[in-house]
Amino acid sequence: MAYQLYRNTTLGNSLQESLDELIQTQQITPQLALQVLLQFDKAINTALASRVRNRVNFRGSLNTYRFCDNVWTFVLNDVEFREVTDLVKVDKVKIVACDGKSESTQNKNDK
């Protein structure tokens, strides 16, 4: 089972909305929609692990930190994200991070 963490992304949210539409029109069952989401979890975890190869550095000030159920949640202010040549400045960002080293990844439904 893969982390359900990525359902709260643009891709994940749009998928959930699309599935909701199909459920509303009774084209699919909620159970089938859940299966789609589980398949999405696997696909996005695999894709991020295998198809993405870039590195980012960032620096900022930490506003809050929280560690609960092995999930870190940070809120940073005035952050600079730096890639090789580019720079992005963000006044406020929230980071939600699940344990990346856990082999037996449980269902982490995070919002």
Partner 1 sequence: MLSNTGPVAKLYLSIIDDVIESMRELYLDEGLEDRVLDDLRRIWEAKMMQSKAMEDFRKNNINSSNFVLQLPDSYGQIGRAHKATVVIPAGQSIHGFPNNSETLATFSLPAGLAYPVQIPAGVTLQTASGQLYKVNVPVVVTQAPMGQKPLSLQIQRAPAPQSTAAPPDTKLPQQVEPPPAPAPSVSQSPQADLPPSPESSPVQQPQVPTADATQLPVVPSPPAQENEPSAQPEPVNYSMTSSPCSQLLEEALAQTTQLKSRDIDDILKQVIEEEREKAERRRNLPPARTQDQTEAVLAGLGLDYSYSELSDIVQLDGPPDNSDAEEEGGAPLEENDFLGIINAEAIKALQEGGGSSDGNSLSSSSDSEGADKLSAEDEDPLNSGDDVIEQDIPDLFDTDNVIVCQYDKIHRSKNRWKFHLKDGVMCYAGRDYVFSKAVGEAEW
| Cβ within 8 Å of residue 67, ≥6 positions away | 73
- Tell me if 32 contacts partner 1 by CB under 8 A: yes
List 1, 30, 34, 72, residue binding partner 1 (CB under 8 A): 72
Q: Which of 1, 30, 34, 43 binds partner 1 (CB under 8 A)?
A: 43
> Among 1, 34, 48, 107, which residue sits at the site for partner 1 (rule: CB under 8 A)?
48
Which of 75, 70, 76 minimizes the C-alpha distance to 98?
70
Is the distance from CB of 23 to CB of 35 less than 8 angstroms?
A: no
Shortest CA distance to 90 belongs to which of 48, 45, 60?
60
Q: Give the three-class secondary structure for 36.
A: helix
Residues that bind partner 1 (CB under 8 A): 3, 5-6, 8-11, 14-15, 17-19, 21-22, 27-29, 32, 35-36, 39-40, 42-49, 51-65, 72-76, 79, 81, 83-86, 88, 90, 92-101, 110
